[in-house]
Chains A and B, each alone.
Chain A
Amino acid sequence: MTSHPRYSVLSVALMGILLSGCNESTSSDAGADYGNQDNTTSDFDQKALIANLVDGVITPTFEQFVSVSNQQVSDISAYCTAATAFEQDPSDNSELTQTSATAQQSWRNTMSVWQQVEMMQLGPLTFDDGALRNKIYSWPVVSRCGVDLDVVSFENNDINGTPYDIASRTPARKGLVALEYLLFNPSFEHSCTGNSTPAGWDNRTDDDRRVARCEFAVEAAKDINNNAQQLLIEWSGENGYGATLKQAGEAGSSFATVHAAVNKLSDALFYIDSVTKDRKLAVPLGKFANNCGTSVCPQDVESPLANHSIENISSNLEALSALFSGNEGLGFDDYLVDENDADTATALRERIATALANSRSYQNSLADTLVSDEEQVASTHDDVKAVTDKLKNEFINSLALELPQTSAGDND
Chain B
Amino acid sequence: MNNLAIGKKLSLVIAIQLALVSQVSAADKDSNTAADSDKTSVNDSYIEKMQIIGHDARLSKQTGSATLIDELELEQFKFDDINRVLYSVPGVNIREEDGYGLRPNIGFRGATPERSKKINIMEDGVLIGPAPYSAASAYYFPMTSKMTAIEVFKGPAAIKYGPNTVAGSLNMVTRAVPQSSEGLIDVSAGSDGFAKAHGYYGNTIDNFGFLIEGVHMRADGFKELDGGGDTGFEKNDIMAKLRYDLAGDAFDQVFELKLAYADETSDETYLGLTDDDFAVNPNRRYVASQLDNMDWQHTQVQFNHFITGDNFDVTTRVYRNDFDRAWYKINGFKPFDNTYESLQEILANPDKNEDTRAFYNILTGSQDSVTEAQKLILGNNDRTYYSQGIQSDLNLQLELFGLQHQFATGVRFHQDQIERNHTTDVYLMQQANLVSDGSDTKASTTDREKTDAWSVYLQDTISISALDITAGVRGEFIDAHYQNRAPGEELNYLNKTTRIWLPSFSAFYTLSDNAGLLFGVHEGFLPTSPKQDPSIDVESSINYELGGRYNDGNFNLELIGFFNDISNLKEGCQFSSCGSDDDTEFNGGEVDILGLELTSGYSISLTDDIDLPMSLSYTYTQSEFKTSFESGFDMWGNVTAGDELPYLPENQLAVNLGLVSDQWDVNMIVRYIGEMKEASGEGVVLSGSTTEALTVVDMSASYNFNQYGLVYVKADNLFDTQEIVSRRPYGARPSKPQQFQVGYQYRF
Contact = CB atoms under 8 A, between A and B. Distances in A.
A283 B334 CA distance: 14
Nearest to A25: B499
A330 to B, nearest CB: 29
Interface centre among A8, A34, A128 (most CB of B within 10 A): A34
Interface stretch (A10-18, A153-161, A180-188, A316-324): A10-18
Interface in A365-390: none
Given A289-B370, A290-B372, A24 B403 contact: no
Contacts of B369: 289
Given A18-B473, A141-B353, A8 B464 contact: yes
B354 A289 contact: no
B38 interface: no
B471 interface: yes
A33 B523 CA distance: 35
A34 B491 contact: yes
B150 to A, nearest CB: 30
Contacts of A14: 471
A16 B471 CA distance: 10
B471 A24 contact: no
Interface in B506-520: none
A31 B492 contact: yes
Nearest to A130: B338
Contact of B338 (A29, A34, A134): A134
Contacts of B503: 15, 18-19, 21-22
Interface string B257-301: 000000000000000000000000000000000000000000000
A288 B337 CA distance: 12
Nearest to B478: A26
A355 B540 CA distance: 54
Contact of A18 (B372, B374, B471): B471
A126 to B, nearest CB: 11
Contacts of A11: 462, 469, 471
A75 B297 CA distance: 69
Interface in B394-423: 400-403
Contact of A288 (B372, B492, B494, B499): B372
Given A4-B464, A289-B372, A31 B491 contact: yes
A340 B378 CA distance: 42
Interface in A130-166: 130, 134, 138-143, 145-146
Interface string B413-443: 0000000000000001000000001000010
Contact of B540 (A24, A142, A275, A411): A24
Contact of A24 (B354, B496, B498): B498
Contacts of A22: 500-503, 523
A3 B402 contact: yes
Size class of the A contact interface (CB-based, 8 Å):
35 or more
Nearest to A30: B494
A139 B373 CA distance: 13
A37 B491 CA distance: 13
Contacts, number: 148
B683 interface: yes
A172 interface: yes
A289 B403 contact: no
Interface in A1-58: 1, 3-4, 6-8, 11, 14-15, 18-19, 21-35, 37
A264 to B, nearest CB: 14
Contacts of A141: 338-339, 353-355
A170 interface: yes
A4 B402 contact: yes
A39 B566 CA distance: 34
B538 A24 contact: yes
B337 A3 contact: no
A138 B525 CA distance: 46
Nearest to A300: B371
B48 interface: no
B471 A289 contact: no
A402 B366 CA distance: 40
Nearest to B683: A128
B335 interface: yes
Contact of A289 (B437, B496, B501): B437
Contact of A283 (B372, B484, B495, B521): B372
A140 B534 contact: no
A21 B501 contact: yes
Contacts of A170: 352-353
A283 B371 contact: yes
Given A170-B353, A172-B353, A24 B499 contact: yes
B233 interface: no
A327 B442 CA distance: 39
Interface residues of B, number: 57
B540 A33 contact: no
Interface in B463-477: 464, 469, 471-473
B375 interface: yes
B505 interface: yes
Given A15-B505, A172-B353, A289 B374 contact: yes
Interface centre among A31, A37, A172 (most CB of B within 10 A): A31
Nearest to B533: A35
Contacts of A139: 338
B497 interface: yes
A278 interface: yes
A288 B336 contact: yes
Contacts of A25: 498-500
Interface string A181-214: 0000000000000000000000000000000000
B206 interface: no
Contact of A406 (B335, B400, B496, B525): B335
A405 to B, nearest CB: 8
B431 to A, nearest CB: 15
Given A6-B401, A22-B502, A34-B493, A28 B534 contact: yes
Contacts of A29: 494-495
A256 B502 CA distance: 30
A259 interface: no
B75 interface: no
B497 A26 contact: yes
B436 to A, nearest CB: 13
A291 interface: yes
A409 interface: yes
Contacts of B335: 405-406, 409
Given A11-B471, A28-B495, A33-B484, A172 B490 contact: no
B197 to A, nearest CB: 46
Contact of A27 (B401, B403, B473, B496): B496
Interface centre among A24, A25, A33, A274 (most CB of B within 10 A): A24
Nearest to A170: B353
A377 B94 CA distance: 56
Interface in B534-551: 534-535, 538, 540
A279 interface: yes
Nearest to A283: B372
A3 B533 CA distance: 51
B339 A140 contact: yes
A30 B502 CA distance: 27
A23 B353 CA distance: 53
Contacts of B662: none
A24 to B, nearest CB: 4
A289 B577 CA distance: 31
A207 to B, nearest CB: 29
Given A28-B495, A30-B495, 20 more contacts: A1-B402, A4-B401, A4-B464, A7-B402, A7-B403, A15-B505, A22-B501, A22-B503, A23-B500, A23-B501, A24-B499, A24-B500, A26-B498, A26-B534, A26-B538, A31-B491, A35-B533, A289-B428, A291-B370, A409-B335
Interface of A: 1, 3-4, 6-8, 11, 14-15, 18-19, 21-35, 37, 128, 130, 134, 138-143, 145-146, 170, 172, 256, 274-275, 278-279, 283, 288-291, 293, 300, 405-406, 409, 411
5 contacts: A6-B401, A18-B505, A28-B534, A30-B495, A279-B337
